A and B are shown apart, each in its own frame.
Chain A
Amino acid sequence: MSDAKKFMYINRKAPYGTIYAWESLEVVLIGAAFDQEVSLAFVDDGVYQLMKGQDTTEVGIKNFSPTYAALGDYDVNKIYIEKESLEARGLTLDDLQHLVWEDEDEDWAEKDSIRVVTSAELAEIFEQQDITLSF
Chain B
Amino acid sequence: MSILHTVNKSTYERDTLEACVRLAAKGGSVLLIEDGVYSAMSGGNKSSVIENAKDLSFYVLGPDIKARGLGEDRLIDGIKVVDYKGFVELTVSNDSVTAWL
Given A58-B63, A89-B38: A52 and B9 within 8 A (CB)?
no
Is B67 touching A59 in the complex (CB atoms < 8 A)?
A: yes
One of A44, A54, A87 near B69 (C-beta < 8 A)? A54
Total contacting residues, chain A, CB less than 8 A: 27
Nearest residue, chain B, Cβ from A12:
B13
Nearest residue, chain A, Cβ from B12:
A45
Given A17-B35, A90-B41: A59 and B64 within 8 A (CB)?
yes
Is B70 touching A51 in the complex (CB atoms < 8 A)?
A: yes
Asked if B54 lies at the interface with its beta carbon under 8 angstroms from chain A, I say no
Is B63 touching A45 in the complex (CB atoms < 8 A)?
A: no
**Chain B interface helix/strand/loop/mixed:** loop
A16 CA / B70 CA spacing, docked (Å): 14
Write out the residue numbers on chain B whose beta carbons fall within 8 Å of the beta carbon of A13: 13
Is A58 touching B67 in the complex (CB atoms < 8 A)?
A: yes
One of A51, A52, A55, A88 near B12 (C-beta < 8 A)? A88
Interface residues in A48-71 by Cβ distance below 8 A to B read 48, 51-59, 61, 63, 65
One of B10, B41, B46, B67 near A55 (C-beta < 8 A)? B67
Given A17-B9, A54-B68: A90 and B63 within 8 A (CB)?
no
Asked if A28 lies at the interface with its beta carbon under 8 angstroms from chain B, I say no
Is A90 touching B67 in the complex (CB atoms < 8 A)?
A: no
Is B13 touching A55 in the complex (CB atoms < 8 A)?
A: no
A8 CA / B62 CA spacing, docked (Å): 35
- Interface residues of chain B, those whose CB is within 8 Å of chain A, are 8-10, 12-13, 34-35, 38, 41-47, 62-64, 66-71, 74
